Each structure stands twice: as C-alpha cells, then as structure tokens.
Amino acid sequence: MDNFYKVNICGREETLPILPISPTLSIAFFNLHGAQELTEFCASELAKKLEGCEVVITAESKGLQLAHCIARNLGQKYYAVARKTKKLYMQDGITSNVNSITTDGEQTLYLSNADAALIKDKKVAIVDDVISTGGSLLGLENLVRIAGGIIEKKAFVLAEGDAQYRKDVVFLSTIPLITK
C-alpha cells in the first residue's frame, strides 16, 4: 500500500494518503475540506440514498460541507450541526458524549435548541464523511433521540474497516484500517 491508498467512489478514483494514528494503526485519510468538486460529487451520490429524509444532521467539522450539499440536493433549506465546542448561542441546548477513532479521548457534541427544534418529529438523515468505530455516530444518534427526531438513515461517503459490514448504514465505498 506504500504511502497512499486508491479508492473508487462510485466510479471516481481518489488517492488517499496513509497516515499513522498510533504506533500500530494507520488510516487512509479522507478529507473533504476545500475539495469542492469531490464534495459535490459525494453529496449528489449520497442524496440519492436519502430520499424521504426531512432534515440532515452532521457533526462538525469534516461533515459540514457534505451536509450542506446533501441538504441542498434534497431541497432542504436548513440542516442541523452538532458542534464540538459549546458556543454562546448554545446555553440551552442538548449534549452527548462520544469517542471517535480520530479524536483523542472522550468528546462532547452540542446541539443548539434551534437545531433540536429543526429535527423534532422529523425523519432525520445522519451524515458524515467516514464511519469507522461508530463512536461519533452514537453521539449523533443520541442527540437525535433526545431532540425527538426519527432516525431514518445513516449515510457516509466511506466505511472504514469493519464498518463495511454494518447493516444499519449506507455508504459509497470502503477503506481499510491498516495495522502494523
């Protein structure tokens, strides 16, 4: 695999750098930040799998532009964003704790009351760039439930490692977890 991994996303080949995240584990790093054409492509493909969803939610930051484009493709004016730091406008929001493979230690996700109201009683699509261990997804699922939303679909551009075997998510392609 050298220092790069090639992935085919719905007929589009992307070359991902392989980055170590621990002494024994590396990932094929997928980054949508600043990649407008790739983001638009992935959002268009994922939106096809999310018909019937009434609102999209994601966690900052790598899922932001993806959620924006998916919501636009689905004709939705707004989408919800779970923040990783509590902002001044979020004093009365809801929280959920998560553990992610790419984040060191436990993290808290914050959802403002306005975003909680946006998803209440709605069929929600949880979207993000990559699913691996599912830690971030658990936090988002918890926020949707607390806010009174209905989890309709869980969609990702890539499923990493064993996440490809999950039956409760949809994704466009797979990437490996690389152990040493």
Domains and CATH numbers, the chain: 32-172 (3.40.50.2020)
**Is-cis flag, bond preceding 132, omega within 30?**
no
Distance CA 44, CA 127 (A): 13
Tens-digit pLDDT string for the chain (180 aa): 469 999 999 999 999 999 998 899 999 999 998 889 999 999 999 999 999 999 999 998 788 999 999 999 999 999 999 988 777 666 777 888 776 555 556 788 889 999 999 999 999 999 999 998 888 899 999 999 999 999 999 999 999 999 999 999 999 999 999 888
The answer for residues whose C-beta is within 8 angstroms of residue 11's C-beta and 6 or more apart is none
| Predicted pLDDT of residue 85 | 78
Specify whether the CB–CB gap between 45 and 10 falls below 8 A.
Answer: yes
| Predicted pLDDT of residue 104 | 57
Specify whether the CB–CB gap between 50 and 73 falls below 8 A.
Answer: no
